[in-house]
Structure 1
Amino acid sequence: MSEDDKTPARQVITEYAQAHFRYFRTADGTVYAQQKDAPIARPIRSQGTTGSHRQELMVGLFDAGHGAFSGTALKEALDMIEALAMREPVERVHIRVAPGFDGATWLDLGRNDGQSVRIHASGWDVTVPDPHEVRWRRTQLTGELPLPVKDTQGKGIDTLLSLCNFADAATESLVVAWLIGCLSPWAPVPAPFLTGPQGAGKSTAGRMLTRIIEGMAGDLRRAPKDEENLIAAVAAGWVTALDNLSYLTPDMSDAMCCIVTGAETVKRALYTDGDVSIARYRRPLLMTGIDVGVIRPDLAERLLPLRLERPRVRRTETELWTEYAEALPVVLGSLLDLTVKVRAAQAEIPTDLRMADFAHLCAQLDAATGLGSLAAYRASLDELNDDVIEGDLLAQTVLQHATGMEPGTEQRMTSTEWRDCLTHLYSGEDCRPLPKGWPTTGKVLSDRLKRLQPTLAARGVLIDWGRTKTARYIELTRAKPAEEAPRTPLF
């Protein structure tokens, strides 16, 4: 055969690829390859170390008798495939959890055969999803889950809770609610913060909760040093678990708020001048630590404190994890059984809480089981409000000022006047020095009060802003007793 009669290598690769794979693009312009009749999708530009599309293409060509091809031929073929895929409709890929047809949801078991769990109104089943319904995105953080066991009668949940050292039944009910929330692709869930004395098993409990969703490969990790690395880790998995936190910078606190409720980041694409890459994320987040110091109000509304106690009887790591590994299929099966039951329960949506979807889930869990998780959630938020106030001298001073007002009365002043008033109240007659971070201008005070507004409202102190014809003002109102939260005031 003459050289002119030979089919170019790039054409051989392109024809084979189009015969065996389906190519599509996502909203951010990334092109994915999906084996026909299989739900697993891989970005075609990912080099990767295991399981990249380039590798599966090379192996497929070799097994089909086409031999090995040079990197140049593969690059030219993938360039053409990528260009052709840009004509295809935009589709979505999902990591671990995905919405399906008819209101169903899917849980990726991380298996090579594509078997996944379909959760629907009448139960759940293990099957391979239609590739047009679900397209799973796999990364190195995607661990394999065991095949769940059916008809467990709730034994798995009991076993899981017996392996952890949670302080009380109320905390355990919040653990169950959070795990059910992790199986939802639609609604955000607050970030559990596992806390307790040294030796309470916080890291062990965090690993156990994470591995129910992420498989035995899922583990705790140290918090990244900057927001960019944190987002990269979050985008590659479903549950992000951060271990042994002792301090949160304001930037890291803001990033965690975005992770819990969802956001996107835009940055310059590598090796380009004008192109950008977009990362969208909303993920369940879990943290462990004894204390993280001062908690900012916006993060406090997104946290779920779970307290643990030191166990009276210690067990070896080998014994503990052997029992956990044996129980994991039953634990997952029990969680799926309970998820179906909870989703079918009818309950009113609490409209007074920031994380209304999770509050509704707690109400559904209570309707299905009577665990009292909604009351426990409200109590946990109340404790977090105390933590915010105890760590913020300005909040304490505002509440102290409000105690001198008659219930139902209001007071208006400019931001500068409020700053002078609160500064004088804090300094007192002995003129004690102002703490670091005390508002230096009226504008700084106004911004700080906006952050504290939900926390102060939970203690019956309402803050509002307005303006007259001549100036802007801040209005402080002490709510009447019937409007206050059912608790004892701090001041």
Structure 2
Amino acid sequence: MSDDEKNPAREVIAEYAQSHFRYFRTADGTVYAQKNGHPVARPIRSQGTTGSHRQELMVGLFRDGRGVFNGTALKEALDLIEALALYEDTHAVHIRVAPGFDGATWLDLGRDDGQSVRIHPTGWDILTPDPREVCWRRTQLTGELPLPAKDTDSKGIDLLLRLCNFATPETECLAIAWLIGCLGPSVPVPAPFLTGPQGAGKSTGGRMLVRIIEGMSGDLRRAPKDEENLIAAVAAGWVTALDNLSHMTPDLSDAMCCIVTGAENVKRALFTDGDVFRVGYRRPLLLTGIDVGVIRPDLAERLLPLRLDRPGVRRTEAELWADYAEALPVVLGSLLDLTVKVRAATAETPTDLRMADFAHLCAQLDTATGLGALAAYRATLDDLNDDVIEGDLLAQTVLGYAETLAPGAEERMTSTEWLQALSRLYSGEETRPLPKGWPTTGKVLSDRLKRLQPTLAARGVLIDAGRTREGRYLEMVRPPGPPPPEQQAAF
């Protein structure tokens, strides 16, 4: 077939595509296609087995009687459309939760008809969003949620708490605060860590929390062995839930910190020499396990321990999940009612906690309901500080050295001198050998103390760093009176 005979096919496809779809690009240059009047957008380069824009375009052309076209004509038409879209204004795409106009936020129900929940300051409604306001991105991890029930009179929250085995009322209110935080597109929330004895229903409880946001297809998964696979899983969904953690490597711990508070990964684009693409992510994270061993201080500030007890009466999986599926519309409706109420509440933002947005949300929840979520959150952070100290011999030794100082005293030495002093204190008169992982140089000690600084500050020991003409120093201060609030120090 001559080139002249191929041109009409390309033109037919391009004309049909531009009349039935809106094409735009995101800030990273990815081009998306959005059917006119529909909020779901698909990347035009997607080669997925189901739901790709290429298939959507082929089906539309066939059903509207335009014909069946070969792959070459489709590719050439899409190449032209992609080039033209790069000159259009940028527009963001969102998974599950998105900001809207006038202070509203949206929750994608994952439905084919595009119906979503608009949460605004005066209530919530089930609507199909204007494509100019919200563009949803769907993946295989985007499950369908039921239409939430109206006028639940908070029955859904009680139903959820009866299905889960939370150990205390404080744990229950923190779980509720986390769920409300998951409905906010811009609020970093700490990662719940569901823990308890064997048979406490940690995995089941984790699934129940996840499925309120992700639908009945939402599930837990094993932690990937490398950061690249973890980031890929995180970027494809909203809530990432990792099951049965028993050990946490430093790399996995650092990756989890980035997931909770947000980070960006840059990789080389495939089949190119120098092009790169960016993957930005900040997602709610949920973990389950009996014990993960030593917790690093930076991750401890981003965790939310939720303890579960063993249930007194066992139920079959089929019976339990049938009851849960029946209750889910009421649970979701009650959660949305409470979210509106909490967002309307006025409360001061605590200034001494790392996750200030979540602390503020807890304060708003207390104002709206009187549950005591902020006090419970502070108590969990205090317990986590104890866990960090119990798992770190250096932290224990620093606190032991601080006990030799009088209240209000200050001591300043170089990092090498501090290493010698702390090593002597640990070895004692018996000169016991230093443990594996003990700092070997002053620089290593300084770096370790940077990580431990918030934990030590919570126990009334302040570590600071500075420089004089003679060189750099580390200073230990034991303030008089009760331990100060948690705070960050500049190194």
Same fold, TM-score > 0.5, yes or no = yes
2:170 matches 1:195: no
What's the counterpart of residue 427 of structure 2?
427
Query: Which letter does structure 2 place at the counterpart of 1:133?
Result: E
Contact 2:154 2:334 in 1 (8 A): yes
Contact 1:106 1:117 in 2 (8 A): yes
What's the counterpart of residue 22 of structure 1?
22
Secondary structure of the 1:279 match is strand
Structure 2 Cα separation of the partners of residues 296 and 161 of structure 1: 31
Query: Which letter does structure 2 place at the counterpart of 1:168?
Result: T
Structure 2 Cα separation of the partners of residues 234 and 193 of structure 1: 17
Which consecutive unaligned segments of at least 5 residues does structure 1 have? 487-491
Structure 2 Cα separation of the partners of residues 357 and 480 of structure 1: 30
Structure 1 Cα separation of the partners of residues 484 and 456 of structure 2: 10
Name the % identity.
Answer: 80
Shift of 1:71: 1.1
2:310 matches 1:310: yes
Per-residue CA deviation, residues 239-276 of structure 1 (Å, 9 max, x unaligned), is 00000011111111100000000000001111111000
Shift of 1:4: 5.5
Structure 1 Cα separation of the partners of residues 328 and 404 of structure 2: 56
Per-residue CA deviation, residues 412-454 of structure 1 (Å, 9 max, x unaligned), is 0000000000000001111111111100000000000000000
Query: Which letter does structure 2 place at the counterpart of 1:52?
Result: S
What's the counterpart of residue 108 of structure 1?
108
Secondary structure of the 1:481 match is coil
What's the counterpart of residue 157 of structure 2?
157
Contact 2:6 2:73 in 1 (8 A): no
Please list, as runs of the form range in 1=range in 2, the aligned pairs for 1:209-358 lying within 5 A after superposition: 209-358=209-358
Structure 1 Cα separation of the partners of residues 293 and 74 of structure 2: 53
Structure 2 Cα separation of the partners of residues 182 and 290 of structure 1: 24
Structure 1 Cα separation of the partners of residues 194 and 481 of structure 2: 34
Structure 1 Cα separation of the partners of residues 4 and 468 of structure 2: 85
Structure 2 Cα separation of the partners of residues 419 and 458 of structure 1: 22
2:482 matches 1:478: no
Please list, as runs of the form range in 1=range in 2, the aligned pairs for 1:383-462 lying within 5 A after superposition: 383-462=383-462
Pair 58,425 (structure 1): closer, same or farther in 2 beyond 3 Å: same
Query: Which letter does structure 1 place at the counterpart of 2:433?
Result: P
Pair 407,318 (structure 1): closer, same or farther in 2 beyond 3 Å: same
Query: Which letter does structure 1 place at the counterpart of 2:346?
Result: Q
Secondary structure of the 2:482 match is helix
Query: Which letter does structure 1 place at the counterpart of 2:161?
Result: L
Secondary structure of the 2:432 match is coil
Secondary structure of the 1:147 match is coil
What's the counterpart of residue 489 of structure 1?
none
Structure 1 Cα separation of the partners of residues 485 and 58 of structure 2: 64
Query: Which letter does structure 2 place at the counterpart of 1:212?
Result: I
Pair 17,419 (structure 1): closer, same or farther in 2 beyond 3 Å: same
What's the counterpart of residue 185 of structure 2?
185
Which consecutive unaligned segments of at least 5 residues does structure 2 have? 487-491
TM-score (structure 2 length as normaliser) = 0.97
Structure 1 Cα separation of the partners of residues 188 and 445 of structure 2: 31
Shift of 1:484: 4.1
2:377 matches 1:374: no
Contact 2:459 2:483 in 1 (8 A): no
Structure 2 Cα separation of the partners of residues 107 and 339 of structure 1: 12
Structure 1 Cα separation of the partners of residues 229 and 337 of structure 2: 36
TM-score (structure 1 length as normaliser) = 0.97
Secondary structure of the 1:267 match is strand
Per-residue CA deviation, residues 265-302 of structure 1 (Å, 9 max, x unaligned), is 00111111100010000000000000111100000000
Secondary structure of the 1:8 match is helix
Contact 2:352 2:485 in 1 (8 A): no
Structure 2 Cα separation of the partners of residues 54 and 366 of structure 1: 50
Structure 1 Cα separation of the partners of residues 448 and 437 of structure 2: 10
Pair 225,193 (structure 1): closer, same or farther in 2 beyond 3 Å: same
Per-residue CA deviation, residues 195-234 of structure 1 (Å, 9 max, x unaligned), is 0001000000000000000011110001101000000000
What's the counterpart of residue 99 of structure 2?
99
Shift of 1:128: 0.3
What's the counterpart of residue 364 of structure 1?
364
Following TM superposition, where does structure 1 have runs of at least 4 consecutive aligned residues deviating by more than 6 angstroms? Answer: none
Structure 2 Cα separation of the partners of residues 419 and 131 of structure 1: 60
Contact 1:459 1:485 in 2 (8 A): no
Structure 2 Cα separation of the partners of residues 389 and 5 of structure 1: 75
What is the number of equivalent residue pairs in this alignment?
A: 485
Pair 410,49 (structure 1): closer, same or farther in 2 beyond 3 Å: same
Structure 2 Cα separation of the partners of residues 441 and 3 of structure 1: 71
Shift of 1:467: 1.2
Query: Which letter does structure 2 place at the counterpart of 1:226?
Result: D
Shift of 1:482: 3.3
What's the counterpart of residue 72 of structure 1?
72
Per-residue CA deviation, residues 101-128 of structure 1 (Å, 9 max, x unaligned), is 0000000000010000000011000000
Structure 2 Cα separation of the partners of residues 5 and 364 of structure 1: 66
The RMSD of aligned alpha carbons is 1.2
Please list, as runs of the form range in 1=range in 2, the aligned pairs for 1:25-40 lying within 5 A after superposition: 25-40=25-40
Shift of 1:483: 4.0
Per-residue CA deviation, residues 85-143 of structure 1 (Å, 9 max, x unaligned), is 00001110000000000000000000010000000011000000010000000000000
